[in-house]
Amino acid sequence: MIRRAIEHPGIRSLSRSSVCAVRPNLPDPSDEKAVDLYKLYRPERITPDKRGIELLKAPGLNKGMAFSLYERQYLGIHGLLPPAFMTEEQQAYRIMTRLREAPNDLARYGILDALQDRNEKLFYRVLCDNIKELMPIVYTPTVGQACQHFGNIYKNPKGLYITINDNSISKVTQILSHWPHKDVKAIVVTDGERILGLGDLGCYGIGIPVGKLALYVALAGVHPEWCLPVVIDVGTDNQSLLNDPMYTGLRRNRVRGAEYDKLLNNFMKAATKRYGMDTLIQFEDFGNSNAYRLLDRYQDKYCMFNDDIQGTASVVVAGLLACTRVTKKKLSQEKLVFLGAGGAATGVAEMCVRQMETEGLSEKDACDRIFLMDIDGLITKKRHNLSERHTRFAKDLPDTRNLLEVVKTVKPGGIIGASTVAGAFTEEIIREMAANNARPIIFALSNPTSKAECTAEAAYKFTNGSALFASGSPFPNVELNGKLYKPGQGNNAYIFPGVALGVILFKIHRVDNELFLMAARKVAESVTEKSLNTYSRIYPRLRDIRELSIKIAVEIAEHCYRNGTATLYPEPEDKEQFIRYQVYTVDYEELINRSYDWPAKDKQHGFPVPVMKRHSMDDE
C-alpha cells in the first residue's frame, strides 16, 4: 500500500495507474537514507508560467475538466471550461467509449492523435491502461495506414521536418531551435524510404517517429518533453505521392549520393551541438542502401542505433532464446533459414551469430548454421558482387529460389520471414517443418499484418499445434483441438524502450550490440512457463513491458558503469530506485506548489525607521 503524502512532510504520492505504476512505494519515514534518496531522485514540481487559454492549449499541462476549482480560479481558466468536474479515470472512460464506438482503426488513430494534441497525461493514461488493445492503433499495423493517409489526417505539428534545402549545420540548428522543448534527450529520425513493409512514403513517414516515441513514454516512462520526432525529407521516388494533391512533402525524386550524406552529417552535428553528445538518436525505416551504411558510419561517433537492424535482431533473438526453453536445444544447435536478406534479416542473423559464439561456436561455424534467401534465391558462393555482410553467410549449395527445396535440403529448426511476401510460408513448407521438428520455429515477421509470410492460424493448423510461432504484427488468438493458442508478437517494443531508458538516464555515450544482446536475454528470461507451455506464447505479455523496460535499463546501467560508457555522476547507489523515481507518471499532478510558512520573526517588516530630517520641509 502506498502511504499518503500527508503522513510525512515533503513526500508526495506517486503514480498508481495499473500498468504505469513502476515507481516504488514511498520510503519509510523512519529510514533517513531512503528518504534522502527519494528527495534527491524525485522530479520537482514547478508552477507553470502559462495561464488562461494558453494553459489549456499546452498538452503537457492541460487536465481538461479534471482541474480543481482552486486551480481554475488561480490559473485563470475558471469559466473557460464546462462547470463539470471529473477524475482522470472518468475522462479515460469517456475516451475508451469513443474509441470502441469508432468505425475503424484509422478513426481510432485520429481520436488518439487529437487527444495527444490536447491532453498528454490522459493520452498516456488511456494507452498504458489499455496497451494490448491500443498498441496496434498507435503503432503497427495502423500507423502504416495512417502514414499512407497522412495528408488527409494532418492537423498539428508532431515533429520537425528537415529537407535537402536546409543542408547546413546552421540551417538545421535553426530548425531544431523552433522545437518548443529544450531538454531533448531522445530523437527518432527517418527519411521515409522504407516505412514498415509499405515502401517509400517520403514525408508521410513522420508517423513512424511519432509512434515510436509514444512507445518510449508508454512502455518505458521516458518523459514526453525529452522526445523529438524528425523526418529527413529528401524527396520520394513514389510517383503516386508525387502526383497526389494531398501530399505534404517535397515534390521531387529522392536525392542520393554526396548531397544526401552531407545532409545526414549536418543533421547529426546540429542535433548533438544543440542537445549534447549524449543525446540518443534512433534511426528508423531507412532504405536498405543506407541503413547499414549509416549505422557503420555513426555508431562509434554518436549515441545512436538503428532499430530496424539492432532492435529487430534483439527481439527475434529473444524469441529464439525463449523457444530453446521448449525445444531443450541451444540456439547454436539449430539451423535457421531466413526468407529475406535485407538490413533487418541480416541484423538478426548477425546477432544469432553473436549468441551462438557465447555458446561455444566459432564465428565460421555459427555462420554455417544460418541460410539467407533474398529476391534472387539462396545466397550461395556462386553469387557475384555480394556485400561483405552477405558473403559470410554464402553457402556451397546449388542456386535455387525455391524455399521448400531449401527447407527439404537444410532441414532447419526454424524459418524466419522478413520478406514482406504475404503467404510465402505455404502449407507445404509449414508441414515440412513439422515433419522435421517436434516443435518447429516459424517466425512470420513482416509488417504490417497483410505482408506476413503466414498467419498464426496457418502455422498452428498445419503443424497440428506444435509450432512455436511469432509475428511482427499482432494476430488474434487461435483455438485448435480444444486448446487456446496466444501467438507472440516479435515487436521491437519489447527492446527499444528499455534500451533507450537506460541510455538516457545514465548518459551512456555509445550504444553497442552487446546492449541489445543483453536486452534479448532479459526478454527471454521474462517469459513465464505458463505462457510457453499453456498458450505457446514466446514473448511476455504486453502489459508487462514497462516493468521489463525497468529491468533492461538496470542491467544496461550495471554493464555500462563496468565498462566506463555510463557518464552519469555520481553513480546511483540503487539504480532501480533511481529509475523508478525518474520515470514519467500518467497520474495528474498538482500544478500549483503548496505554500509554506516562515518563522514569525523572519516575517517582520524589516527594521524600525529612524527619524529622518526632511531638509526641504525645514526651509522657511
User: Do the annotations mark residue 285 as ligand-binding?
Assistant: yes
**Nearest-10 crossing angle of helices 513-526, 312-327:** 40
- Per DSSP bridges, beta strands 414-417 and 488-489 are unpaired
Band of the pLDDT at 24, cuts 50, 70, 90?
low
Q: What is the mean pLDDT of residues 552-578?
A: 95
Cα angle 220-222-227, degrees, rounded to a multiple of 5: 130
CA 410, 414, 420, 421 torsion: positive or negative? positive
- pLDDT over 50 at 11, yes or no: no
User: Do the annotations mark residue 253 as ligand-binding?
Assistant: no
Instruction: Give 511's contacts (C-beta < 8 A, 6+ positions apart).
Output: 280, 299, 303, 304, 305, 310, 499, 503
The pLDDT mean for the chain works out to 92
Q: What is the mean pLDDT of residues 176-183?
A: 96
Least confident of 77-81, 183-187, 212-216, 487-491: 487-491
User: Do the annotations mark residue 491 as ligand-binding?
Assistant: yes
| Cis geometry, peptide bond prior to residue 570 (ω within 30 degrees of 0) | yes
Percent of the chain with pLDDT over 70: 95
Dist. CA 181–CA 460, nearest whole Å: 48
Q: What is the pLDDT of residues 312-339, one digit of tens each?
A: 999 999 999 999 999 999 999 999 999 9
User: Do the annotations mark residue 308 as ligand-binding?
Assistant: yes
Dist. CA 413–CA 434, nearest whole Å: 9
Dist. CA 614–CA 240, nearest whole Å: 86
| Cis geometry, peptide bond prior to residue 141 (ω within 30 degrees of 0) | yes
Q: Please count the other Cβ atoms lying within 10 Å of the Cβ belonging to residue 298.
A: 18
- pLDDT over 50 at 496, yes or no: yes
Backbone angles phi, psi at 230, to 5 degrees: -135, 140
Nearest to 340 by CA among 373, 313, 370, 315: 373
Active centre residues (catalytic)? 139, 212
The pLDDT, as a whole number, for residue 428 is 98
Q: What is the pLDDT of residues 437-479, one digit of tens each?
A: 999 999 999 988 889 999 999 999 999 999 999 998 889 999 9
The pLDDT, as a whole number, for residue 22 is 52
Gyration radius from the chain CA atoms: 27
- Per DSSP bridges, beta strands 468-471 and 441-444 are parallel
The pLDDT, as a whole number, for residue 10 is 45
Cell of 347: 541484423
Q: What is the pLDDT of residues 397-442, one digit of tens each?
A: 999 999 999 999 999 999 999 998 999 999 999 999 999 999 999 9
- pLDDT over 70 at 12, yes or no: no
Cell of 490: 516479435
Band of the pLDDT at 5, cuts 50, 70, 90?
very low
Bridge partners (DSSP) of residue 161 are 231
Dist. CA 290–CA 607, nearest whole Å: 73
Least confident of 21-35, 266-280, 297-311, 551-565: 21-35
Q: What is the pLDDT of residues 251-306, one digit of tens each?
A: 999 999 999 999 999 999 999 999 999 999 999 999 988 999 999 999 999 999 99
Bigger pLDDT: 23 vs 419: 419
User: Do the annotations mark residue 447 as ligand-binding?
Assistant: yes
The pLDDT, as a whole number, for residue 14 is 37
Band of the pLDDT at 617, cuts 50, 70, 90?
low
pTM for this prediction:
0.92
Backbone angles phi, psi at 483, to 5 degrees: -115, 145
Instruction: Answer yes or no: are the C-beta atoms of 419 and 403 closer than 8 Å.
Output: no
The pLDDT, as a whole number, for residue 611 is 85
